Structure 1
Amino acid sequence: MKKISFFLSIIFICSAISIFVSADQPKAKIIDVIKIDNYIINPVIAKIISNSIQKAEEKKSICVVLQLDTPGGLLESTRNIVKDILNSKTPVVVYISPSGSRAGSAGVFITYASHIAAMAPSTNIGAAHPVGIGFTPKLPKKEGMESKEREEKPTDIMSDKIINDTVAWIKSIAESRNRNIKWAEDAVRKSVSITEVEALKKKVIEIIAVDLEDLVKKLNGRRVKTIYETITLDTKDASLNFIVPSRQERILNSIAHPFVAYILLMLGIMGLIFEFTSPGIGFPGIAGLICLLVAFFAFQLFPVNYLGIVLIILAFVLFIAEALTPTFGLLILGGLASLIFGSLLLMKTPHPFFHVSLTYILPVVLATAGISVFLIGNAIKTHRKKVMTGKEGLLNCEATTITKLNPEGKVFCHGEIWNASSLDNKKIDKKQKVKVVEIKGLKLIVSKAQTYGLRQNVGGR
């Protein structure tokens, strides 16, 4: 009994010491860093940021640094990111870097939503007009209004609604973060853009930092107000934890690019054409179908103009028509024009980063058109060829009787000796030319050859 009590006492003392030592040790100070390096803001990027903020809250990180370089992106994705930042328990620092980076369009809203905004030297921020974040306002046609007058009117009721809503949104963000409201409105209405020095003077940002190390030093001691509490940042001797997106997130983000989606669409159509023109292989058809499904998934992330897709499909219809009814290349030229215009009109927004460059379109179009016409033309030629093998290849062929047909006997056809029977049970002498008119099992039905309408028997396959 005494031994048991002794061992229990030792266990209790060891446990108490370990608890005391662990309580005495300071918790590791971690700053999570997410890199958005020249990416379009899309649902995948929004999900990556949301997951990273959630993980930082669970780990109780000091703050999350969003290292930002973006030309802009989609409005819905931007709204989701802004919501996550505004409602985050962990302070979020947006750092526009490295030098040469920009926070354009959607990047302005994300920067304004941050608890602390910072920029590296030689960076810029601005140009937040709604057309740059997934909107394409259209001017309605009014009776009695000439087209020139419509062009002179920069806005209409719908575009005014969009702009006013976006202005109200960024003003509310600016008020909650105590940032320059006037400049925020100008960034939306007038698409103004400023450098990091001007941004600091205008109270758009709070810090100019050369690099992440410099940023961490300048963050130390700053007071940050979240929706839950006011926090004083203690970043001294903090370690940086670079968050790497999962493999699935990286793959989805690679797909969520206009050029990648366009290439997948072309490959998908080509795969199906290859399968239909060379049936029985299977792989091109399956690969093409997968490419098409992935392409249409990617197109859901962008403002797609369905007229562009219709023109692309029309191009392939014209290629098929050219193969069926040769028009000396006229339909091919029409298909090329349709494919080029369809590719250019694919994205329904004037913003350049949503469009596929003509530099990429032309080689893709020429390669696609050439391969498609070759495959379709080859398939049609093959189907039009007369069958030369098997039973079908024997019909209407010339044969030679090697025995007398009375009415049955032997004939020589396609390098082989066949049992034969004469049509209508007529007698045919030996070494006579006959024509195969029917095949019954392994017997040829022949008639006496005429001087025309025969396929010559070359004596072999």
Structure 2
Amino acid sequence: MFQTRLLASTLACVFALLFFLNNAINVSADTTAPPGDVVYIVPVEQTVERGLEAFLERSVQDAEDEGADHIIFEIDTPGGAVDAAGNIASIFRNTDIHTTAFVTNQAMSAGAFLALNADEIAMAPGTEMGAAQVIDGSGNAAGDKAQSAWVANMKGAAELNDRDPIYAIAMADPTVDLAEYRAGEGELLSLTASEAYEVGYAEYVVENREELLSVLGFEDAHIQEADISIAEHIARIVTHPVVIPILLSLGSLGLILELYSPGFGIPGIMGASALFLFFFGHTIAGFAGIESIIMFIAGLVLILIEIFVPGFGVFGILGIGAIIASMFFASFSAVHMIISILIAALLSIVAIAMLFKTFGKKGPMKKLVLQDSFSSDEGYVSHTSRDELIGKVGSSLTPLRPSGSILVEEERLDAVSEGGYIEENQKVKIIEVQGARIIVRKSE
């Protein structure tokens, strides 16, 4: 039970640290605005996913709290998840602060959609925007229903600021032919900075941030840059759709391996750390609440009760159910969480089978099965072996029908006849000894 208490204490400390870090990064910033105009610079970089969404939501809220006059979203992204892009686009549209999307390198796929949701767009020379077709998890074009919805979203985003929607549609639909902009049939449209300016998809083409601020009339404004914190960096990584099944697999494998090792060692630390990162990242991103963490801990406790106090499987079933439910509560996508749990479960089943086959029942698992052996080599015997009696001749003290008593060298023994009936006071010969069983036959 010491191992149980140690594991529970470790997990409690881990989740206490989670709440501490979460509260630490959510401490309200100083809302005292400096004199003059305030411009917030917010980076929109790397993959568009739910961790980025949480960062941008916080950054826009900070800008609103400080009374910023303008927000510049500096975009450099190859695209990402459609659901995250839709939520981020809502953040862009719903703020009362005027926004500018500044494409510093590329705004591809979901990045182009985000840029179109800003009030205006600026691009640096040599940058491009477009190629926004929806693809599935295998890298292939999505189904007609998803594609149609995405084309409608791109068209709506273009129309927000009176841009010609044909170019946004061509970015998402390869069947739209705009040959003058290099997008022949079967190709997605991508606009360079000069092309975007020509068709009204960019209001400015500027060399750098300073030139953009000058064009916007904020050359003397106070610049406030939104920096992504370490915790938000971690959240962006661990909430990535590819990383989630890896974390869940490492968590389950680590805890399973811990059952086969004495004490609380590296496998347990690995498993607890992976699960900590899963819940920590989803908490920072705003997906996981205290209810999911409490349910997860309760599930672990129920499983430990099942392991150390074997019953009818009720505690184990409830524990597994509570853990799975906690992960769904912490997830941003039920479908993706189902896939991630199935991957982790498959790997866990394979690992358990291999461990049972290779190592047998080790660690706490051996508490469920009697492991002690009572062999004659270790001094445990249920009877005294009498092999030395084989071949000796005695006489029957009682009739053998087929069992009875015989006398051999003045020692009374219980015996059974080899087959037939043997009368009293007949010569008998011991022909076999099977444990405590002495077999005799009538001797001439």
TM-score (norm 2): 0.55
- CA shift, 1:322, in A, is 5.1
Once the two structures are superposed, residues 170-199 of structure 1 have per-residue CA deviations (whole angstroms, 9 ceiling, x without a partner) of 333322212231101111222321221211
Pick from 206, 230, 239 the counterpart of residue 256 of structure 1: 239
d(CA) in 2 for partners of 1:195 and 1:302?
Answer: 38
| Equivalent in the alignment of 1:195 | 192
| Equivalent in the alignment of 2:151 | 167
Q: Which amino acid aligns with 1:193?
A: S
**Structure 2 residue 72 is the aligned partner of structure 1 residue 65:** yes
d(CA) in 2 for partners of 1:182 and 1:165?
Answer: 15
**Structure 2 residue 372 is the aligned partner of structure 1 residue 397:** no
Identical residues among aligned pairs (%): 26
Q: Is contact 1:105–1:133 with CA below 8 Å preserved after alignment?
A: no
| Equivalent in the alignment of 2:220 | 237
**Structure 2 residue 112 is the aligned partner of structure 1 residue 108:** yes
d(CA) in 2 for partners of 1:78 and 1:384?
Answer: 47
Q: Is contact 2:40–2:226 with CA below 8 Å preserved after alignment?
A: yes
Quickly say closer, same or farther: Cα 1:397–1:167, change in 2 above 3 A. closer
Q: Which amino acid aligns with 1:216?
A: L
- CA shift, 1:208, in A, is 1.5
| CA root-mean-square deviation | 4.0
| Equivalent in the alignment of 1:338 | none
**Structure 2 residue 56 is the aligned partner of structure 1 residue 46:** no
d(CA) in 2 for partners of 1:248 and 1:72?
Answer: 22
| Equivalent in the alignment of 2:206 | 209
Quickly say closer, same or farther: Cα 1:313–1:245, change in 2 above 3 A. same
Q: Is contact 2:51–2:237 with CA below 8 Å preserved after alignment?
A: no
Q: Which amino acid aligns with 1:241?
A: Q
Quickly say closer, same or farther: Cα 1:308–1:86, change in 2 above 3 A. closer
Pairing of 1:1-400 with structure 2 (within 5 A): 27-38=35-46, 40-97=47-104, 101-131=105-135, 155=144, 159=145, 162-190=146-174, 191-220=188-217, 235-281=218-264, 284-285=267-268, 287-289=270-272, 291-292=274-275, 294=278, 300=332, 304=336, 306=338, 310=342, 313-318=345-350, 320-321=352-353, 377-379=358-360, 396-397=376-377
Q: Is contact 1:134–1:303 with CA below 8 Å preserved after alignment?
A: no
- CA shift, 1:33, in A, is 0.8
Q: Is contact 2:42–2:72 with CA below 8 Å preserved after alignment?
A: yes
Q: Which consecutive unaligned segments of at least 5 residues does structure 1 have?
A: 1-25, 140-154, 221-234, 326-376, 386-390, 399-434, 439-445, 454-461
Q: Is contact 2:40–2:68 with CA below 8 Å preserved after alignment?
A: yes
Quickly say closer, same or farther: Cα 1:321–1:89, change in 2 above 3 A. closer
Q: Which moved more, 1:129-138 or 1:257-266?
A: 129-138
Quickly say closer, same or farther: Cα 1:257–1:300, change in 2 above 3 A. same
Quickly say closer, same or farther: Cα 1:178–1:450, change in 2 above 3 A. farther
Quickly say closer, same or farther: Cα 1:302–1:253, change in 2 above 3 A. farther
- CA shift, 1:55, in A, is 2.2
Q: Which amino acid aligns with 2:349?
A: V
Q: Which amino acid aligns with 1:238?
A: A
Quickly say closer, same or farther: Cα 1:450–1:271, change in 2 above 3 A. farther
Count of paired positions: 292
d(CA) in 2 for partners of 1:131 and 1:216?
Answer: 36
Once the two structures are superposed, residues 351-383 of structure 1 have per-residue CA deviations (whole angstroms, 9 ceiling, x without a partner) of xxxxxxxxxxxxxxxxxxxxxxxxxx2455999
d(CA) in 2 for partners of 1:118 and 1:199?
Answer: 9
Q: Is contact 2:122–2:202 with CA below 8 Å preserved after alignment?
A: yes
- CA shift, 1:32, in A, is 0.9
d(CA) in 1 for partners of 2:373 and 2:136?
Answer: 65
- CA shift, 1:324, in A, is 5.3
TM-score (norm 1): 0.54
d(CA) in 2 for partners of 1:37 and 1:302?
Answer: 26
